[in-house]
Chain A
Amino acid sequence: DIQMTQSPSSVSASVGDRVTITCRASQGISSWLAWYQQKPGKAPKLLIYAASSLQSGVPSRFSGSGSGTDFTLTISSLQPEDFATYYCQQANSFPPPLTFGGGTKVEIK
């Protein structure tokens, strides 16, 4: 199985800060990577797919980069509504399983 390792597991930041979350795959996954945002009690929301493509309706302050094994999600200027948990996911269905990172909680400083 491909393991997805996120870091940090949590980060404290202030409104307006630039926040960077990293995700490392245990083997190369090309650009088959997604990022999700999840707020308490809610379903996850797709932010980024194919490593760097912004899902429709997602603010442009979110961006993704990387390929192979190392990926990054950047929030350029943190907004109050961005405090949430973020997950990466490798999206190549061959071979199964699809796997998620352990999550990064973005908290208010």
Chain B
Amino acid sequence: EVQLVESGGGLVQPGRSLRLSCTASGFTFGDYAMSWVRQAPGKGLEWVGFIRSKAYGGTTEYAASVKGRFTISRDDSKSIAYLQMNSLKTEDTAVYYCTRGRYSYGYWPELYFDYWGQGTLVTVSS
């Protein structure tokens, strides 16, 4: 059974940092692109970024709203994806979901998110 479990959320002050983890099981983690998607309270879904599988360089892409502040990485030996969030702003307050891309082939894959974690809440407030 495919499972994605996020951890690391919590309350953090503006300008500080936080690292989220996504622990995967039930599939060959290294074969898939992994994405982060967030949802502010009462709002819609916003794609944050994704990391390619090592077969395609393990490189990353980001939304403009987080580029330069957030970094996605992966440890395929542990089946974990990370989201390092620096210089946090109040508008980063959201539930953060880790997702798997259904088709992860190619440098620019079609990303249909077939599995989602339960989400972890990040609250940025003083």
Contact = CB atoms under 8 A, between A and B. Distances in A.
A97 B119 CA distance: 21
Contact of B47 (A55, A98, A101, A103): A98
B116 A50 contact: no
A50 B97 contact: no
B108 A93 contact: yes
A42 to B, nearest CB: 8
Interface bracket on B: 20 to 34
Interface stretch (B10-18, B61-69, B70-78, B80-88): B61-69
A87 B99 CA distance: 15
Interface residues of A, number: 25
A43 B109 contact: no
| Listed residue (B35, B110, B113) with the most chain A CB atoms within 10 angstroms of its CB | B110
Interface in B86-126: 97, 102, 108-114, 116-119
B110 A99 contact: no
A100 interface: yes
A38 B43 CA distance: 12
Classify the interface of chain A: helix, strand, loop or mixed.
Answer: loop
Given A96-B61, A97-B47, A44 B110 contact: no
Interface of A: 32, 34, 36, 38, 43-46, 49-50, 55, 87, 89, 91-94, 96-103
* 3 shortest interchain CB distances as A-B pairs: A94-B108, A43-B116, A49-B112
Given A49-B114, A98-B50, A103-B44, 19 more contacts: A36-B45, A43-B119, A44-B45, A44-B97, A44-B113, A46-B102, A46-B112, A46-B114, A87-B44, A89-B112, A89-B113, A93-B61, A93-B108, A93-B109, A96-B61, A97-B47, A97-B64, A99-B47, A100-B44
